[in-house]
Amino acid sequence: MTQPTSSPAGRARPRTTRAASDLYRAVWRWHFYAGLLVLPFLISLALTGGLYLFKDEIDQWLHGDLMRVESRAMATQPAQSQLDAALAAQPGEAFRYVPAPADDRASEVDIRAADGSRHAVFVDPYSAEVTGSMAYRGSVMWTIRYLHSLTYFGTAATLIIEIAAGWTILLVLTGLYLWWPRGRGGDALKVRGRPAQRVFWRDLHAVTGVGVGGFILFLAITGMPWSTVWGSQINEWANGHNYGYPDGVRVNVPVSEARLAEREPTSWSLEQAQLPVSTATPGDDIGLDRAVAEFEALGLAPGYAVNLPGGPEGVYTGSVYPDELSRQRVVHLDRYSGEALLDMSYADYGPLGRGLEWGINVHLGQQYGLANQLILALACAGIVLLCVASATMWWKRRPAGRLGVPPAPQDSRRLRGVLALLAIGGVIFPLVGASLVVMAVLDGLLTRRTRIPAAA
C-alpha cells in the first residue's frame, strides 16, 4: 500500500510554527535580560524624574525662606548694590548674578570663596538685605537632578545611565513584539485573574507597558543628549562647525577657547559654543548695572542670569532658558564698550538643534505648562507600576532557587537574527553596543551550559 504523502503546505506549517516559536523565545529571552538590567534604573529614573518635573514649585516651597520675599510697590536696588551685599555676607569672587525673576522672588548672587567652595547667596531686591545662602546648586531639586543622572555618584556612574537608556529602548521594542495580539483582539488589553495569580500581574504588566511604552521611548531618546559618550559626541558633531547657527552670526567676532557650558548651565545645542572675547580698547568696565540695563533693553525674558567677565577679555553673558522655547536667548556683551558681540535665540538654531531642544524641553515638563507636567507625572507613575508588575510576575514564575531565564530557541539562527538587529542599535549607541556584546557572550555561555547536559 502506498503511504500517503503530505502536501508542501502541510510540511511548511510545522516549520513556520516552530520558526515563530523560536523567534518569540529569542525576543522573550532578550526582553528578560533587558528588564533584569534596567528595572532598578527605570524605577529610580521615574521617581526622580517625576519629582523634577515640579522643580520650581518644590524648591520654592522647601527653600521659601531664602527664595521668596514680600512683593512691594517700590523700585528695586541696583544690581551692584545687591551683589555688594552678598559679598559682605559671603566674601569671595562673584561669578554670576540672577535678577529676581518675579516681584516676590529674591535675587541670587553666586560666589566662589577663597577655599574654592561655591555658594548661592539670596538677596531681597527691594532692600538689598541677604535672606540666606546655600551651597551653589545645593537645593533639594539639584540633588534630585544629580540622582536622576547618577552624576551624584561620579562620572563613571553616568555611563551606567547611558547604557540603561539604550537597554530601555530594547526593552520597549521587544515588549511590544511580545504583547502583539496575534489574533487575540481586545483580549490583549484586558487584565484577567486576581492579584494572587500570576496571570493578573502578567496582563497588568502588558497593558501598562502598552500605555506607557511610547512615553518610555520618548524619555529614553530625548534623555540621550545628556549622556556622557553618545551625547557629547552628537553635540560636538552638531556644533563642531557652527552647525545650526545662521550664516554670519559669528563673522568678525573673535572667540576664545572657553566654552559657554563651562561658565553656566546652557541649552544642549549651545554646549560647544565658544565664548566671544571683549575686543574694545581696555578701559573702564561698563559694570553690572549697565550690563543688566542692556539685557533689559534687549528684552531678555524674566529669569535670565548674568555671568560676570572672567579675565580682561571676558564678557558679560546674559542667558535665559524659560519654559517657552521661543524665548531662549544668549547675549554676550563686550565688557568695555557694552556692544552686543553675539545675540542668539531659539529661532537661530538649526533643525537638529531645534528638534533636540524641543525634545529636552518636553522631557523636562516645561514646554506645555501644567499639562506637560501632569501627563509626564502620570507616565512616571505608570513606569513604576510597570516595574512592580514585572518583578511580581517574574517572582511568581521563577523556579525555586533559579533565575528563571526564558528558554533559548531550538534553532540558534533565530537568536542570531535578533542579535543582528541589536547590532544596528549598538552602532548608533556605541557604549550600549559594547554592553550588548558582553551580554551576548554571557548568553552564549549560558545557552551552551544548559544544552550540554541535554546532549549527554
Residue 455 has pLDDT above 80, yes or no: no
Q: Identify the residue with better confidence: 263 or 174.
A: 174
Give the angle 105-135-126 at the CA atoms, nearest 5°.
25
Measure the CA–CA gap between 327 and 330, rounded to whole angstroms.
10
List the grid coordinates of 346.
531659539
Note whether 388 and 200 are within 8 A (CB). no
Helices (H), 180-286: 198-223, 230-239
Would you say the C-alpha torsion 178, 184, 189, 192 has a positive or negative sign? negative
CATH no. of 71-138: 3.10.450
The half-sphere exposure of 328 on its side-chain side, counting CA atoms within 13 A, is: 24
Q: Average pLDDT of 286-298?
A: 97
pLDDT of 29 > 70? The answer is yes
Containing 158, the helix (H) or strand (E) segment is helix 155-179
Residue whose C-alpha is closest to residue 366's, from 342, 346, 348: 346
Amino acid 419: pLDDT: 72
User: DSSP states of 68-117 as a string?
Assistant: B----SSPPPPHHHHHHHHHHHS-SEEEEEE--SSTTB-EEEEEE-TTS-
Contact 414, 23 (CB under 8 A): yes
Q: Looking at per-residue confidence, does 283 or 417 come out higher? A: 283
All structural domains of the chain with their residue ranges: 15-53+148-226+374-455, 71-138, 245-349
> Between the CA of residue 131 and those of 105, 315, 372, what are the distances in Å?
11, 29, 32
Q: Which residues neighbour 451 within 8 Å (Cβ) at sequence distance 6 or greater?
A: 408
Closest by CA to 206, choosing from 182, 188, 232, 228, is 188
pLDDT digits (tens, 9 = 90+) for 355-407: 888 999 999 999 999 999 999 999 999 999 999 999 999 998 888 878 888 88
Condensed to tens digits (0 to 9), the pLDDT of residues 319-339 reads: 999 988 999 998 999 999 999
Phi, psi of 6 (to 5 degrees): -85, 150
Task: Tell me the pLDDT of the chain averaged across its residues.
Answer: 85
Write the CA distances from 55 to 118, 373, 416, integer angstroms.
21, 10, 45
Amino acid in position 405: V
Residues 6+ apart with CB under 8 A from 423: 433, 436
Does position 244 have pLDDT exceeding 50, yes or no? no
Q: Are 343 and 250 in contact (CB under 8 A)?
A: no
- Nearest 10 degrees: Cα torsion 279, 283, 286, 288: 100
How far apart are the C-alpha atoms of 174 and 171, rounded to whole Å? Answer: 5
